[in-house]
């Protein structure tokens, strides 16, 4: 959910004070106004409702299609124009990011009420929402992204200076740390995650009863994202029972159980690696959670419950992501896993973050992962053997990576996909569509009942090929 932004690090790599950065003219202007605001506080409280009154007078968890005349926020916008932009961001967050995507850590509807109570978290959340809207609209980051980011940095620096480690402060740093991780910036991601973990320790540790469940999940999510960018193990040990697969993934259907077992046997027969069983379990999770996500978007499933102690969809995704981590992370760089497992693991991460977490595919982390896959395959002496033996797996990887790869890497994925398509003699648009999704759903077929369906499928296939080759 976080988009590209400024670098929030400093020279000290161990103290959370490293978050101090220049905040820009917006925050400086705000500092000059602060004295006058304090002097006129009583007068303003009579003339217009403050944040607390507004929070209690208006619903903050859900917004109606007709937003209130004034933004529900922990501060008063300076002008009508700013108020209009702010109401758009709030509406976009609550009705798009929160209600229609899988991005927010569950329970999803607890986040905006926290933002209304905490100004620093509110501003970083609005900055994040601004970037999300810009991604959807395919536009440059707007001015309000930098404005809200600057205010959040200023408020966060002030809190760190006085040793604050409350819920709002921790979640604010989570979003900044995610921003660096999602954009594939390892140096600043390391700086922010170290600062975050210091605050968590100051708050009593990850198991502290003082930490709300949603905040605990947010911290774990941030740790996992940072581990991807840093190519390390996650720092925090999971509190979930990550071996209880039926609880987190749901019981596999007969088709899923059979396909996962067959996939594992194919990997084992080729590599003789014990990771084959884990890869088969990952396939189970990919299919079941993908189906659950589809059901959610079709209105057939509810992913979160109102009770934070209940299992949330993000818990299920966390278990899957931790399983995937073992496929690509090399404990000993001298003896890494077979390229087959590493590239499968990295591709699964792209799939998890773009499909099961529904983050924008343009994020730098996705291009970084695609780059790792390209380098691994280029240096693999058995590449042609892999292309011939695991056509479905490699074709899926080429399509997934081609959609998110850097411009200079896309020709590689296009050329490898073309090799497989030529070997399989696939030229028809519908056949290419089937092949692109065949790896996860071999039993699914594209309908060819009418010319209109064929034309629609052809357009989608052409679009997919362009994504890989452009």
Residue-wise pLDDT for 256-291, tens only, equals 999 999 999 999 999 999 999 999 999 999 999 999
Please report, for the chain, the start and end positions of each structural domain, with discontinuous segments joined by +.
16-230, 245-469
Q: Is the dihedral of CA 30, 36, 41, 43 positive or negative?
A: negative
Per-residue model confidence (pLDDT) at position 337: 85
Tokens of 10: 């400093």
Per-residue model confidence (pLDDT) at position 60: 40
A 10 A CB-CB count for 405 gives 26
- What span, in angstroms and rounded, lies between the C-alpha atoms of 254 and 252? 6
Q: Which of 212, 309, 175 is nearest to 204 (CA)?
A: 212
CA 104 to chain centre: 9
Per-residue model confidence (pLDDT) at position 6: 45
Per-residue model confidence (pLDDT) at position 77: 77
pTM of the model: 0.80
Successive 10-residue mean pLDDT values, the chain, 470 residues: 42 40 45 49 40 37 44 76 89 93 90 94 95 91 93 94 91 95 94 94 93 95 97 94 95 96 97 96 98 93 82 95 95 83 98 96 96 97 94 95 96 94 84 84 59 44 44
Per-residue model confidence (pLDDT) at position 406: 96
Q: List Cβ neighbours of 109 (8 Å cut-off, separation of 6 or more).
A: 61, 62, 98, 304, 306
- Site of tokens 């979640």: 171
Per-residue model confidence (pLDDT) at position 113: 92
Per-residue model confidence (pLDDT) at position 72: 67
Per-residue model confidence (pLDDT) at position 386: 94
- Site of tokens 């996992």: 224
Q: List Cβ neighbours of 357 (8 Å cut-off, separation of 6 or more).
A: 102, 103, 317
Per-residue model confidence (pLDDT) at position 445: 56
Query: E-assigned strands of 286-429?
Result: none
Q: In terms of C-beta density within 10 A (0-12 exposed, 13-18 middle, 19 or more buried), how is residue 274 classed? A: exposed
Q: What is the pLDDT of residues 402-417, one digit of tens each?
A: 999 999 999 999 999 9
């Amino acid at each position: 959910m976080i988009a590209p932004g400024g670098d929030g690090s400093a020279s000290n790599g161990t103290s959370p004070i490293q978050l101090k950065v220049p905040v820009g003219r917006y925050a400086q202007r705000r500092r000059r106004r602060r004295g006058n605001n304090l002097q006129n506080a009583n007068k303003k409280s009579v003339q217009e409702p403050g944040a607390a009154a507004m929070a209690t007078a208006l619903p903050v968890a859900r917004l109606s299609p007709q937003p209130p005349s004034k933004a529900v926020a922990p501060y008063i916008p300076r002008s009508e124009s700013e108020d209009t932009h702010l109401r758009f961001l709030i509406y976009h967050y609550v009705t798009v990011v929160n209600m229609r995507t899988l991005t927010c850590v569950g329970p999803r509807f607890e986040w905006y009420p926290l933002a209304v109570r905490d100004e620093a978290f509110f501003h970083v959340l609005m900055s994040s929402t601004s970037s999300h809207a810009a991604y959807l609209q395919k536009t440059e980051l707007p001015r309000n992204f930098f404005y809200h980011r600057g205010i959040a940095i200023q408020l966060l620096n002030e809190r760190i200076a006085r040793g604050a480690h409350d819920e709002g402060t921790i979640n604010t740093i989570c979003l900044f740390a995610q921003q660096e991780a999602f954009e594939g910036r390892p140096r600043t991601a390391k700086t922010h995650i170290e600062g975050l973990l210091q605050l968590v320790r100051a708050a009593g540790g990850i198991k502290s009863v003082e930490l709300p469940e949603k905040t605990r999940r947010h911290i774990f999510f941030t740790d996992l994202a940072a581990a991807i960018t840093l190519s390390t193990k996650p720092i925090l040990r999971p509190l979930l029972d990550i071996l209880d697969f039926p609880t987190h993934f749901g019981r596999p259907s007969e088709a899923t159980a059979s396909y996962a077992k067959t996939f594992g046997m194919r990997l084992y027969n080729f590599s003789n690696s014990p990771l084959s069983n884990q890869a088969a379990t990952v396939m189970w999770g990919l299919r079941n959670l993908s189906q659950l996500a589809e059901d959610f978007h079709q209105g057939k499933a509810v992913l979160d419950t109102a009770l934070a102690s209940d299992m949330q969809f993000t818990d299920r995704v966390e278990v899957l992501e931790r399983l995937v981590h073992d496929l690509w992370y090399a404990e000993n760089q001298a003896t890494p896993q077979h390229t087959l497992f590493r590239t499968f693991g990295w591709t699964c991460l792209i799939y998890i973050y773009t499909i099961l977490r529904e983050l924008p595919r343009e994020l730098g982390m996705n291009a970084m992962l695609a780059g790792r896959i390209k380098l691994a395959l280029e240096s693999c002496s058995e590449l042609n053997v892999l292309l011939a033996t695991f056509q479905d797996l490699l074709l899926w990887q080429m399509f997934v990576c081609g959609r998110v790869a850097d411009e200079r890497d896309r020709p590689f994925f296009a050329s490898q996909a073309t090799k497989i398509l030529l070997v399989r003699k696939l030229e028809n648009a519908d056949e290419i569509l089937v092949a692109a999704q065949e790896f996860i759903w071999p039993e699914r077929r594209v309908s060819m009942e009418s010319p209109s369906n064929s034309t629609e499928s052809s357009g989608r296939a052409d679009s997919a090929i362009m994504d890989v080759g452009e």
